[in-house]
Amino acid sequence: VLAPRRGWVFPGLDQRLAAAPALVSAAPPARPYAAAAKTAKKGSQKTKQEEAKKKPVTRRRPLMSKPVDDVYLMWYYERPSYGVEEAVGMLKKFQELDFTHPKQYVYINVFLDMALQKKKKVDPFASTVLLPYRFTDETNKVLVFTENEQEAEIARENGAAVVGGVELIKWILEDEIQVDFYVAVPAIMPKLIPLRNKLRRKYPSTKRNSLGHDIPKMLQLFREGLEYMVEDECVIKTRIARV
């Protein structure tokens, strides 16, 4: 809107300006109002949380035990569980129906409770176990760290892939030597510190049974053992047998 200069006369201009709608918006609110709005927002969030707590929790209907027909909605019934013997028998039956390989692997999923009283949870870990019945002819390559000639000879006789002392450090750092597991005797451990960051969880330690004086026992565990690790924070998925 253009206002007339002083001294100009426009008949009826005052009445038209008074009747016209306001074209200029109100001034923005001052800073204190913004702070007050922020406080109100916090209060509204608390109110919503309190209302959510007061709302009754909708519970799902109890699952039925066993379906009558062969075709049914799975989420209406409890998931069937079987014993090991029955489950393996079913796998053998499915193998015949599906024409799959008769020596295929059997896998197991173990769900762990990783909660503790003092800490929030147990950190994911990896370990090796020697099963009572071997289901594969594959053996792992194991390197033995020792500077004792007698111990080195024992390691070679028990199937060690590589045996040596500090001279192996350079080759391992340059990836010239790559094996599945590393074991060591306690006497050589102070000299193996440069390999700590390279080997990480495969670095010899008593916690993983890869550090000790019984070389034949360590070699048997890591050559024939089954390595497993915790995935997704609480699940172990590994093979345990053949059909």
Give the per-residue pLDDT at 23: 47
State how far the alpha carbon of 28 is from the alpha carbons of 24, 41, 81, 238, in Å.
Answer: 12, 19, 67, 65
Residue 123 pLDDT: 84
Residue 13 falls inside a structural domain: no
- Give the model confidence (pLDDT) of 186-203 as tens digits: 999 999 999 999 999 999
CATH number, domain with residue 163: 3.40.50.790
Residue 166 falls within a domain, yes or no? yes
% pLDDT > 90, the chain: 48
Residue 6 has pLDDT above 70, yes or no: no
Q: Determine the 3-state secondary structure of 230 from DSSP.
A: strand
Residues ≥6 apart with Cβ < 8 Å to 13: 4
**132 token code pair:** 């009572």
In a domain, 177, yes or no: yes
For 159-186, the pLDDT digits (tens) are 999 999 999 999 999 999 999 999 999 9
User: Quick one: average pLDDT of 215-223?
Assistant: 96
The pairing of strands 181-184 and 162-164 is: unpaired
For the segment 51-84, what is each residue's pLDDT rounded down to a tens digit?
666 666 555 566 677 787 878 888 888 888 889 8
Residue of higher predicted confidence among 166 and 102: 166
Residue 107 pLDDT: 92
* Domain residue limits at 190: 126-242
Based on the number of CB atoms within 10 Å of its own CB, is 128 exposed (0-12), middle (13-18) or buried (19 or more)? middle
pLDDT of residue 237: 94
Whether 10 shows a pLDDT value over 70: the answer reads: no
145: how many CB neighbours lie within 10 A of its CB? 28
The number of domains in the chain is 1
What is the reported pTM? 0.64
- The interaxial angle of helices 215-224 and 149-157, nearest 10 deg, is 40
Strand 142-145 relative to strand 126-129, pairing: unpaired
